[in-house]
Amino acid sequence: MARKFKITNNIRKLRFFANEMTQQELAKKAEVSRQTVNAIEASKYSPSLELAFRIADAFGVKIGDVFDYEVKGE
Amino acid sequence: MARKFKITNNIRKLRFFANEMTQQELAKKAEVSRQTVNAIEASKYSPSLELAFRIADAFGVKIGDVFDYEVKGE
DNA sequence: ACATTTTGTCAAGTATATTAGACATTGTTT
DNA sequence: AAACAATGTCTAATATACTTGACAAAATGT
């Protein structure tokens, strides 16, 4: 019955540790719009796998270091 | 100017090592249609991050063990 | 206090992922 | 050879991601 997953991310923390990189800068590095970065950081929706990779790349980390997922309820 | 990425995957190999698990079975485990599994395995398009996580989960491995990406040219 | 930057948010449009149904092809089993 | 399972592929519909433009709110700098 369609287990539900919730995807979480550490974008805020990663920006902080990257000398408080701005959403705008991240957007530029990942070649995506600022609004999209904002929405993803706020978990409004989850990105495509492609964008997820580009974001990880912008921080120089692995995709698993940016995004994680949890199975909701069991 | 919009670097191009290509996403690759090891689904075929992972199915093989999982006792030749069928696309149908993988589809069921990842709660996705068989056609989608087929298309993704053949790199016709890349999945959503959510589905990428579910596929990794179906094999009991990390997302980076299923998908990888390469920067095209440079 | 004023100006500037950063973030949050909305709406409407475009692009891409995912679906179901159907059928052809290939490989396997009897 | 006939039956069956697995894969490949197409089409049309629906869902979700992503875009631009614009404006308000919050934070930061002078």
pLDDT tens for B3-40 read 677 999 999 999 999 999 999 999 999 999 999 999 99
Strand D contacts in A 9-68 (CB under 7 A): 31-33, 35-36, 39-40, 45-48, 50-51
Query: Concatenated DSSP letters for A20-61?
Result: S--HHHHHHHHTS-HHHHHHHHTTSSPPBHHHHHHHHHHHTS
pLDDT class for A1, splitting at 50, 70, 90? low
pLDDT at B73 over 60: no
What is the distance in angstroms measured between the alpha-carbon CA of B33 and the sugar C1' of C16?
A: 17
Return d(Cα B49, Cα A13) in angstroms, integer.
20
- What's the number of domains chain B is made of? 1
**Domain extent at residue B26:** 5-71
pLDDT at B74 over 70: no
pLDDT recorded at residue A4: 72
Return d(Cα A11, Cα B73) in angstroms, integer.
27
What is the distance in angstroms measured between the alpha-carbon CA of A47 and the sugar C1' of D18?
A: 9
CATH at residue A41: 1.10.260.40
